[in-house]
Amino acid sequence: MSLDVVNNLVILAKLAITQSNNIDALEKVRIKFLGKKGYLNQQIKNIYHTPSELRPKLGAAINKAKKDIYKTFIEQKNILNSKRIKNTLIRDMLDVTLPGRLSDIGTHHPITGTIKRMKLFFKSLGFSVIYGPEIEDDYFNFDALNIPAYHPSRDEHDTFWFDEKRLLRTHTSGVQIRAMTDKNPPIRIISFGRVYRKDYDHNHTPMFHQMEGLMIDSNIDLSHLKKILYDFLYNFFGKKIDLRFRPSYFPFTEPSAEIDVMEQKTGNWLELLGCGMVHPKILHHVGINTEKFSGFAFGIGIERLTMLLYNISDMRVFFKNDLQFLEQFK
């Protein structure tokens, strides 16, 4: 009988509704059951085939069924809607706890790092930084440093010449001459820069870096030189390393010395820097009164210093642009 049909339709509709897992499917179910030509409205049309005394009851039952089904429909629609919202929220969720995407900031080249530390130390002693040209003329690189054309030590420099007069500086000592020519004592300067020599093996590259230091004042002697350089090296290596101060020869200093450092692994002495009291001949030449003033100069190989600090055995790695090597200094 029709009432059973209506009840069955309610059961079927509710089942279909609760099984719809998206809004489109749910809407199709709604049209199938509650639409104008849906199953329930078809039952209303069927009312005319039922005996008239049953019609009100059947009509009421159909209306109640429609309401019932509609209620379930709305419930399911709400469930699906909130599921959809939740899914989009999950999809678009911003996880504020994730680490940010850091842009890769580079690092200073180890040579630059060493230069910075050297600057810091010598600035604190009142030295100021000046720079000289990498393309020098033979006057500043040699003659003014008491290395005339016939002097044998010119040959030791393995110079890159451009022409008769111009060259790539073989050391930063030319900056001493420039400083003494430009300034009156007292003078305290340091200078950093690239220098060039025709040399290439694990301890030599055709371009390398030096730091030059010059101090001219009254009553300056060798003990000031030794003290300042020892303090610098102890500070740089962060401990009392084994050092050797030994006599040497440079045409522009008298007396001259070199400082060697003991390489821990091998026990070998490695030459680290050259230094000495500025030769009176040079002071005269730049017009400094040697009765009143004296001073010292030194030149340090920056690669050598950096190699000792980090235990690097091949100098060429500094100039290979190998990121794996360079990133270790972050």
CB 127, min distance to ligand PHE, A: 14
- Give strand pairing partners of 257: 247, 275
The residue (of 110 and 251) whose beta carbon lies closer to ligand PHE is: 251
Q: Site size for ligand PHE, by CB under 6 A?
A: 10
Instruction: Name residues whose C-beta falls within 8 Å of residue 139's C-beta, 6 or more positions apart in sequence.
Output: none
The residue (of 156 and 231) whose beta carbon lies closer to ligand PHE is: 156
Which of the stretches 45-53, 118-126, 281-289, 295-303 binds ligand PHE when contact is defined by CB under 6 A? 295-303
CB 157, min distance to ligand PHE, A: 8
Which of the stretches 29-37, 120-128, 293-301, 314-322 binds ligand PHE when contact is defined by CB under 6 A? 293-301
Name which of 294, 289, 296, 250 is nearest 142 in CA terms.
Answer: 250
Contact call for residue 169 and ligand PHE (CB under 6 A): no
**Binding to ligand PHE in span 209-228, by CB under 6 A:** none
Contact call for residue 250 and ligand PHE (CB under 6 A): yes
In contact, 61 and 47? CB cutoff 8 Å? no
CB 254, min distance to ligand PHE, A: 10
Which of the stretches 48-56, 182-190, 200-208, 297-305 binds ligand PHE when contact is defined by CB under 6 A? 297-305
Residue number with the smallest Cβ distance to ligand PHE: 299
Distance CA 103, CA 100 (A): 9
CB 301, min distance to ligand PHE, A: 8
Q: What does the DSSP 8-state code read for residue 204? A: B
What is the helix (H) or strand (E) element at residue 222, kind and residue range?
Answer: helix 222-237
Quickly tell me which residue has 């069955």 as its tokens.
8
The residue (of 77 and 194) whose beta carbon lies closer to ligand PHE is: 194
- Chain-centroid distance of CA 78 in Å reads 53
Contact call for residue 299 and ligand PHE (CB under 6 A): yes
Name which of 108, 119, 117 is nearest 328 in CA terms.
Answer: 108
Out of 173, 191, 294, 306, which residue is the one contacting ligand PHE (CB under 6 A)? 173
Q: β-strand 187-196 against 128-129: which pairing, if any?
A: parallel
The residue (of 62 and 145) whose beta carbon lies closer to ligand PHE is: 145
Name which of 60, 56, 50, 68 is nearest 11 in CA terms.
Answer: 68
In contact, 329 and 113? CB cutoff 8 Å? yes
The residue (of 55 and 224) whose beta carbon lies closer to ligand PHE is: 224
Residue type, 68: D
Distance CA 176, CA 215 (A): 9
**Binding to ligand PHE in span 251-280, by CB under 6 A:** 253, 274-276
Q: β-strand 187-196 against 253-262: which pairing, if any?
A: unpaired
The residue (of 29 and 257) whose beta carbon lies closer to ligand PHE is: 257
The residues binding ligand PHE (CB under 6 A) are: 171, 173, 250, 253, 274-276, 297-299
